[in-house]
Structure 1
Amino acid sequence: MIAGVAVLVAVGALATTGYVVAGWTLGDALYMVVITVFAVGYGEVQPITSWPLRGLTVTLIVAGYGAVIYTVGGFIQLVVDGELNRALGARRMTRDIDQLDGHTIICGYGRMGTTLARELQAAGQPFVAIDTLGGASPLADEDDGILVIHGDATEEDVLERAGIRRAAVLATVLSDDAANVFVTLTAREMNPDLTIIARGEDRRTESKLRNCGADTVVMTTTIGAAKMSQLILRPTADQLLDQLTTRSEGGPDLDHIGLRFDEFLIEGSSPLALKTLAEIEVSGAHGYLIVGIRGVDGTTIMHPPQTTTLSIGDVVVVLGYNDDIPHFATRPPARRSPKTTTYRGLTTTT
């Protein structure tokens, strides 16, 4: 479209100059160019008898009318392609969402929601984001493959489109506490089995969110203040902990020393069910370190004793070697083979 308009302006300017050089007034020249380019069909302003003027007029007709057609065609293509791509994209997104099951719904695709979406995408966890800007958001344009629904997350029909009845987790990270309360209340009514994680800014909102059905409330200001206090009181220890546990572009830094955190649900068919930690962890040289257990009733035990028995429905948080973790829930080790760990260029075998 820009190229077409540029050619049209250039042709019009040259033709106007040509008519003025031939002795026409500037007004007559401009009028002649306009009625010629747009094929209005009015009579000639002045008789065109000389071959140079006729040649100029013919060139103006061909070049000017061609530039007009090119510009209009570009505009039509822009409109048609944009609407077509938008319609096809919406249909494809709806189909992809309908195929999801046990996914996560992110309510709010701002700064916090975008960061959360990238973490889930890196982990391979399916999710749907809901935002008032939707697919038109510049944040969504930067992230290929992310499903973003345009709409208000507090409305039931929008949550239905996100597949809330098939979802496993809903994270509401809107900047407005009242909106997070309303989303939590609506989501809990639509799916009683849903795990809801809510963001809160005001401490007075935490109890409201829990009363409305939130399983976990994340107080961003409290977390930020706690982080800053650690940097003030124990800066070296905090920086070292960050290096071992935070995610970098290459992945979790715990991988660099051959370790990783994970969690497992103890099901009825699991070989770990009804066994004590002493039977699971290898005495003297642990292949796994069970750092916490969340019971069926929601209680959490940190650093559980060796005599603790795992029950069906418990969630076990484990720290172990990368090679051992995938086999934890299906094949608890009776004896661990030597492992090689590399940290800061030093390799040790345990």
Structure 2
Amino acid sequence: MLDGSSLMYYVFLAGVVSAGVYVYFFYGLNDWWRKVYRSGLFVVGLILIYGLIYQWGMAVFEGFEKSYIHSLQVVIESVTTAGYGGDSPWTSDFMNIFVIWMNMTGVILVFLAFPLFVLPMIREAIQPRPPEELNLEDHVIICSISRRASILREELQSKSIPYVIVDIDEEAVLDLHEDGVPVLLGNPSDEDVLKAANIHKARALVADMDDENNALICLAGRALDKDLKILSVATEENMIPYHRYAGATHVILPRRILGKSLAERVVVSITEDLQGVTQLSDELELTEILIEPNSDIVGKTIEKSEIRERYGVNIIGAWFSGNFVSNPKPDQVITDHTILLLAGSHDQLTEFRAKTVSKLHQAEGPVIVAGLGVVGGTISELFRKRKIDFLVVDKSEKEGVDLVGDITEEEVLKRAGIDKASTIILAVNDDRTAIFTTLVLQQMNPDVEIIARVNDVDNTGKVYRAGADYVLSLPTVTGRMLFSMLMEDDEILSTDTMYEVVRTEAPKLSGETLQDANIRAETGCTVVAVERNGELISELQPDFQLLEEDQLIVVGSDETINNFRKKYT
């Protein structure tokens, strides 16, 4: 029969356990607290069982009747290695072995407790937590922490448009929160999470995860706000209708746009046709032109190349090993693989392209396309329409693949005919594969033109340094497309090029002349035309005065365009 103290103990223990179970099941806990709760129950249960064994062992092997409360006290002293009371020393082997076992249990529990509970508890105490809700207005809710979303964030920041990132990745959310980025932790398809992001006062909702999650996000967003602008990113063309059915206002397919742009670069290289231009008027176009080996201007400075005098085109900027230089200096040397950003009429740009093309690209073999995903499939479709001879290499055997193998392996490249190929497009879905393949290609055929895609903007420079001639990033294309759909007063005219062209207002420049504003020196980008009263003015003199209602056509890299927005809009 239980004595009074033991009965009170059991009543107290039952109350604690009941309260814990109530909190756990009715209020819920996050993953970390669930781990703490379950581990705590395990330790308590272990101590209670040890108490019963100790009480029984003392009676059977030592000949002493001990209360259960006293037995628990000794167990806790043993497990915590805090010392012992009057029960020691023990005379029986069983009790000595049992006490040793309890000591070892305590040591193991301490070693487990620090990394699993104590350190996380300290980290949680000192680490700032993201807010549970935000009271932003006229903001954009971006559902994804991705490199694609980061480009959109930079564009929004340049226009001082508020935004919030919503994602389920706790570690990534905490990192952004520490960097001062407005974030919420939670599943973006959860209506309560979208309410916490103040969706009813949002400007737009952007779904940029995978197709399934994007559809769920659209459903949740549309259920909460029937008039909200919802933008969704699709990875496969056949998924576009499902995004729209779920409530998306606009659905974009950036991989197809990227594939089309990369294919047009090849058309330019092997046919001398001018593709991928940004047409501003009948008399003004912009384009990127790769200066290839053996071109007659390779090795000359910009001044001595006399590009403007010979062809009538203007150099707006240039990429040297992937680094954009606005208005390069006259003594800047043009090397092979330099990419010039030029402005002029279609005829002028076509003539420049035809007279500077390298004779090395008269190769016998087909164009090699590495990777048959959405990007590679788009390239293949365009090549078939243009009757361009090409060969597809992919790791998987499927319809449309001509050669199955790893494109990073020399033997596979030899079988693909790399020694006779003029161009290879790296449409692979892994940046490391693109980098390694480029390095191999530089050893096997340094004359082949290498055109590549990347999934991370930060890897663009790495692929250039490895030897690529032209690189375009998926995040850049996606971010520009989303931003262009979000903004009504800032239209991006070139979403699928290395350069960015925007039509935008610049009220802070009202009343200033182009010479006094010195925009190129201040921001790194160039005003190539001004739209005034429905007319495009492309012949801009230094004394041209800007008006408040003017729409400026500005050209530069993403970074320099963002500098322009921050300073003048």
TM value normalised by structure 1: 0.48
